[in-house]
Amino acid sequence: MSAAIEVANLRREFRVRSGMLVAEKRVIAVDDVTFSIPAGSVLGIVGESGCGKTTLARLILGLLAPTAGTALVDGKRLFELDRKARARLIQPVFQDPFASLNPRRRIRDIVALPLDAQGTFTRGEIDKRVARILERVGLSAEMGERMPAQLSGGQRQRAAIARALVLEPRIVICDEPTSALDVSVQAQILNLLADLRRDLGLTYLFISHNLAVVEHVASEVAVMYLGRIVERNETDALFRSPRHPYTRALLDSVLTPEPGRGVPDVGLGDIMPDPANIPPGCRFHPRCRIAVERCGSVPPQPVVRAGEGVVECHLA
């Protein structure tokens, strides 16, 4: 399978100042991230808040400039493309359909905007495409005439998906697309995303903190911790035999609906990861149950083993 997107050594630093007289600090939000997604498949990205998963999405969408690194889509260098060309290749679906749709415009105008912005489509073409995509995501023409406030959360997320797909992109970046929705609606949206991927041959980068959702939709999963991908593997293998202790802790904390099993002890302690103070050596070592001395001084290198994915841990 050919790759829909290849990202190599992607890095983004922020400079932050916490007070007037305090020296500037460097926060490395995304640190040397490399991955590729085979066309038509789904890469899930999981990790706690502050791990850099949303910064990663913004970099790939071109909403933030990378400090270093490259991304290839269709053999084109993504970061050198202009906005219009990039929009034809990659589109986003964000978490909160209450915030991501302009409250003062009709749904059908919101969905038409990416086409308008290209400046190459006739009115008739735009109307035809908008009508087609609205129907495809399960919104009636009458819904298209409404304002976002007149739609439910699930319907709004359908509109956001229609807007993302109206330009027929290759890749969709889904950043927590169902986190703001109720479970019954979440299931509808996940099913819709799965159908669309199959029918339109789309490739997804699917970001979520919900591991059960990622397990359901992703073909491959990357686990991020303080800006780095610490483990990446096929979904089944990663869930069956996680190799990084952080992946294990994340999986342990999933509360499946199985009564009588109690709440697991994930054993992470209460030191929270701070992207402004990344520990030396392995960045996970202060929270790691099995850390040994060298974990505190020597940063682990990614180890690639056939069939076992990639992992960054001295002890894996």
Tell me which amino acid residue 13 is: E
Answer yes or no: are the C-beta atoms of 42 and 218 closer than 8 Å: yes
Report the residue number, 162 or 268, with the smaller CB distance to other proteins: 268
CB of 277 to other proteins, least distance (A): 13
Quick one: tokens of 23?
Answer: 């020296």
Is position 37 an interface residue for other proteins (rule: CB under 8 A)? no
Which one of 10-18, 83-91, 214-222, 301-309 is the stretch in contact with other proteins (CB under 8 A)? 214-222
144 vs 273, beta carbon nearer other proteins:
273
d(CA 56, CA 277): 19
- Binding piece for other proteins, criterion CB under 8 A, among 28-36, 67-75, 156-164, 215-223: 215-223
Member of 209, 237, 281, 286 binding other proteins (CB under 8 A): 209
Among residue numbers 227 through 246, which ones bind other proteins (CB under 8 A)? 235, 239
Pattern 245-274, binding to other proteins, x per CB under 8 A? ----xx-xxxxxxxxxxxxxxx-x-x-x--
Quick check: 184 binds other proteins (CB under 8 A)? yes
Judged by CB under 8 A, which of 99, 212, 290, 298 binds other proteins?
A: 212
Could you tell me the smallest distance in angstroms from the CB atom of residue 181 to other proteins? 9
Q: Is residue 102 a contact residue for other proteins (CB under 8 A)?
A: no
Residue 187 CB, shortest distance to other proteins, in Å, is: 4
Nearer to other proteins, 112 or 207 (CB): 207
Q: Side chain identity at 62, as an amino acid letter?
A: G
- C-beta closer to other proteins: residue 95 or 235: 235
Which is nearer to other proteins, 119 or 260 (by Cβ)?
260
**Closer to other proteins by Cβ: residue 66 or 242:** 242
Nearer to other proteins (CB atom), residue 258 or residue 293: 258
Q: What's the CA gap between 59 and 71, in Å, rounded?
A: 10
- Binding-site member from 18, 49, 120, 301 for other proteins (CB under 8 A): 49
Q: Does 48 bind other proteins (CB under 8 A)?
A: yes
Q: Is 140 in the site for other proteins (CB under 8 A)?
A: no
Dihedral over alpha carbons 100, 104, 105, 106 (to 10 degrees): 100
Question: By CB under 8 A, what part of segment 186-205 binds other proteins?
Answer: 186-188, 190-191, 194
Going by their DSSP bridges, the two strands 309-311 and 303-305 should be labelled as antiparallel
State which residue, 266 or 303, has the beta carbon closest to other proteins: 266
* Residue ranges in contact with other proteins by CB under 8 A: 48-49, 152, 154-155, 182-188, 190-191, 194, 209-213, 215-217, 219, 235, 239, 249-250, 252-266, 268, 270, 272
